[in-house]
Structure 1
C-alpha cells in the first residue's frame, strides 16, 4: 500500500516496489494518479514498477504517461537505478537530463535524493 510522506511541506505518495506494474496509461491513471490526486503533489514510483516500454521512448508510453501527470498537475519522480535503460538508449539520457532540470518530472536514485531535491533552494532550483 502506498503511503504519503511529507518532505519540506510537499506531500509525496511513495509507491511500493512490489505494486502493480505500470504497463500503460490506464495503469498510471488507476494506480498512480488516482491514488495521489486527493492527497499528494508528487508521486514517487520505483523504476521497477514501470514497464520496460516506458524507457523505450519510441513506444510513446513515457510521453503519454508524463502528459497525464501534467494534465492532473501532479509531479512524477522515478526512483531507482535506470542505468541499464540509459545505456540502451540514445534519447533517454537526454530526456532524463532535461527532466531533472525542471520541477515536474525527476529521475532520482533513491528516496533520500528525492527528499534532498525537495529541500528549498536545493540544487537545480533558481535562487532568484
Structure 2
C-alpha cells in the first residue's frame, strides 16, 4: 500500500502506509504536507512510521515535525499505541496532552478512534 487519501468520517485523510519511509525531520513532514494538496485535510501517520527519536523530546524531532504541521494548518493524527513511550517520559506525556488539547496533533490508538474524533470535530463545526 502507498500513502492514499481516504474519506474517513466525511473528512479526506492522507493515510500513510505503515511500510513507508520513516518520518525523522521537518523535511519529511513537509513532504507529507505537500501530499495533502491532492485534497486531504488530515495526515494519519502510523506510529511505526515515526523515527524512534520522535518520542524522545530532547532530540527535537517531534518539535520540528509538529511545528511544520501547525504552521501549514494541517492536522496530524498519530495512530497507534504510544503507551510504552508515555510510561517512560513525563515530558512526552505532557507533550501528548498539550497537543491533543490544542487540537493540532491527535494521538489516537487506532483508526476507529480517529474516525470517532473526526466525526465529533465535524459535528461541532457550524
Pairing of 1:10-49 with structure 2 (within 5 A): 10-30=11-31, 32-49=32-49
Residues 85 and 104 (structure 1), Cα distance of their counterparts in 2 relative to 1, 3 Å cut? same
TM score, norm. by length of structure 1? 0.87
Structure with the higher fraction of residues in helix conformation: 2
Give the Cα–Cα distance (whole angstroms) in 2 for the partners of residues 75 and 103 of structure 1: 8
Q: Which runs of 4+ in 1 moved over 4 A?
A: none
How many residue pairs end up in the alignment? 124
TM score, norm. by length of structure 2? 0.88
Q: Is the 8 A contact 1:8 1:120 kept in 2?
A: no
**5+ residue gaps in structure 1?**
none
Give the Cα–Cα distance (whole angstroms) in 2 for the partners of residues 56 and 63 of structure 1: 10
SS of 1:91 mapped into structure 2: helix
Residues 81 and 120 (structure 1), Cα distance of their counterparts in 2 relative to 1, 3 Å cut? closer
Q: Deviations over 1:2-39 (max 9, x none)?
A: 11112333211110110001121112222x11222331
Equivalent residue number for residue 108 of structure 2: 108
